[in-house]
Amino acid sequence: MKRRITIDDLFRIRLVGSPQIAPDGSQIVFVHKWIDVEKNKYFSNLWRVRFDGGEPERFTVGEWSDSQPRWSPDGKWIAFVSNRQKPKSQIYLIPVNGGEARPITNLEEGSIGEFAWSPDGTKIAFVFREKAPEWREEAVKERKEKGLSNPPLVITRAYWRLDGDGVFLNQRYHLYVVDVRTGETRQLTPDSEFNEFSPTWSPDGKWIAFLSNRNPERQDDWGWMEIWRVSVEGGEPERIAAPDGPKSTLRWSPDGKWLAYIGNPYPDDPYPRNDHVWRIPAEGGEGVDLIAALDNTVGVGTLTDVREFGGGAPLIWSADSSTLYFLVSERGGVYPYRVRVDGTHLEKLLDGDFEVADISVAQDDHRFALCIGSATAPHEVFAGERVGNTLTTRPLTAFNQPLLEEVAIVAPEEFEVEADDGVKIHGWLLKPPDFDPSKRYPTILMIHGGPHAMYGRVFFHEFQLHASEGYVVAYTNPRGSVGYGEAFARAIKGDWGNRDFKDLMTVADYLASLPFVDPDRMGVAGGSYGGYMTNWIVGHTDRFRAAITDRSVVNLVSMAGTSDFPQIPDRYWQGNWWDSPEKLWECSPLAYAGRIRTPLLIVHSEGDLRCPISEADQLFSALKRLGREVLYIRYPQESSHGLSRSGPPDLRRHRLEQYLAWWKAHL
């Protein structure tokens, strides 16, 4: 008989990602990530597996972080990023047939972004953001030894820090090229106030196109991303005419005729929108939305605690430049699609009760590498073979199978309820492993963050843990969630706490009506925007016995100017936070704190730059002054907004212990 899943089992889960298939389709290299509980750290190495099957094998070894594997065009080398020169990261090369990895860059401390091989395999283009000299490890250590203070931060830009990334002040990503054989590295774009992203080579190897917003009047406005190119020999970057709007994942077609990217044509109203696959002539010109008929967004929109949010947004040309491959978020799942370069033959290649978190395609256009997971199994690497528009898959790894054979994993049950305006709200129920239909169970409604993300067909340790402890767990996608069409996602734009609240109360009514749910022992919890909605709910109804708000939004007025992404006035939200804050305050849970009677656990991290710690401070102080039942768990600076997904393992354990203790005391 299988045992119940525990907190400790979180640290046994093996995480796989970035499956990269060889050009000839013979094998797949991928990232394997694990947690060392004793060292309280995460490590990742590269592994590989034959496409035809066999035991996966380690490709790199060591207690560091190896990531972003990329095959050379001839299939003889793997380039990857590693921090084995801590505190510096470098691009490394390792021969496919075996041998030692060697660094080909000699960069200072900083952050390496995307990189791409040149078509002839002699160079690699990459973007790199250097750390300011005064904040490098050696300088900090020297100041400490001399008893000197750290220098003040001199800030001139609105965008000067990022949650999970830290403070970077005026440093920006710039474009570099490194010679693979000699290691000679040249900076192609000058030091400036502009970022460069997503480098892609012209097939003749003479040009590198990239994304950048180089308009000083629209600094750090992601809605106005433009396409540029620069000669591999250097010189002034040239702008390539393209539709206005946000852009990511720029890719040059192998025949040189086209540039493709993921984006939308709404520069002043970019979010939430359906990001689609766009194509323009390589020399610039009119853009074409190749998937205009598809009412969903490209990319990975699902939330889980067994990987960071999202798996990127791959966009892959077929070798003959006829077809583009990409992933789409739909009804809690993520699925591979393809479309012809002329916009015809839009085809969904896979469907089912799972998500595809990443994908790559061999040169023959028939062999694929995929990262697939479901609600009952963490992600593994799969091989895919396409015949026509049918893609069949088979697993190549089973890192988590020993754990799955040992513990009782509950398969969720789908449900739909009809909101007051007739729109269907989709969700899932997890019941305890030893569920008895004659009993009534305490029940927890979980609310996702974003808000423009989704819960879905993916493993969630925290949900399984709660079910194993005897709770019915409900998780759902109310208005605002992606995966159900653009109008569904945009229904709450600039108006939180209205339509979304009604949808969630409809779900709560449904739960209370179920014969196995005890309506007097219901809890509600969520993180980030889910924490916002938890705060809003307990300020507008007393129907829940207890609540947990995690890394939450409390005061939209204060958060508008203190988050790592300061709000742009009159865009997502009406008004601003200095002389026109009315709408922000109207939608702030803090405005209704006086109504809160529900016992509330507040969880937040001092290192959270997305929803700053001051949000939690305000709510806690208000509830204490009001004499309400509240407990505040304040995690230290080394944790961030993503504590539940990627925070220090010991703090993740503590957080789950606090959750279970709170529910046990109140439900």
Among all residues, which ones are annotated catalytic? 528, 641
Burial class of residue 441, CB neighbours in 10 A (0-12, 13-18, 19+): buried
CB-hemisphere CA count at 13 Å for 275? 27
The CA distance from 455 to 471, in Å, is: 18
Name the pairing type of β-strands 367-374 and 377-387. Answer: antiparallel
CB-hemisphere CA count at 13 Å for 81? 18
Closest listed residue to residue 5, CA positions, set 513, 660, 646, 517: 660
Q: Which residues pair with 125 in a beta bridge?
A: 116, 177
- Beta-carbon neighbour count of residue 560 at 10 Å? 21
Give me 260's structure tokens.
Answer: 């493709």
Q: Which residues pair with 359 in a beta bridge?
A: 370
Give me 536's structure tokens.
Answer: 């809003």
Residues with Cβ within 8 Å of 98's Cβ and at least 6 positions away in sequence, in order, are: none
Are 141 and 150 spatial neighbours (Cβ–Cβ below 8 Å)?
Answer: no
The CA distance from 75 to 173, in Å, is: 28
In degrees and rounded to multiples of 5, residue 477 shows phi and psi of -120, 90
What's the one-letter identity of residue 66? D
The CA distance from 71 to 27, in Å, is: 11
DSSP class per residue in 372-393: EEETTEEEEEEEEEEETTEEEE
DSSP element (H, E) containing 48: strand 41-50
What's the one-letter identity of residue 557? V
What are the strands, taking DSSP E only, across 377-494? 377-387, 390-395, 413-418, 424-430, 441-447, 472-477
The CA distance from 488 to 427, in Å, is: 15
In degrees and rounded to multiples of 5, residue 297 shows phi and psi of -105, 145
State the first-to-last Cα distance of the chain, in angstroms, to the nearest integer.
Answer: 28
The CA distance from 397 to 590, in Å, is: 48
The CA distance from 468 to 583, in Å, is: 42
The CA distance from 354 to 393, in Å, is: 12
Q: Is the peptide bond before 272 cis (omega within 30 degrees of 0)?
A: yes
304-335 in b/e burial notation, b at 16+ Cβ within 10 A? bbbbebebbbbbbbbeebbbbbbbbbbebbbb
Give me 657's structure tokens.
Answer: 């212990």
Are 183 and 105 spatial neighbours (Cβ–Cβ below 8 Å)?
Answer: yes
How many residues are there in the chain? 667
Residue 180 Cα distances to 25, 127, 258, angstroms:
23, 16, 27
Residue with tokens 């853009």: 287
- Beta-carbon neighbour count of residue 574 at 10 Å? 16
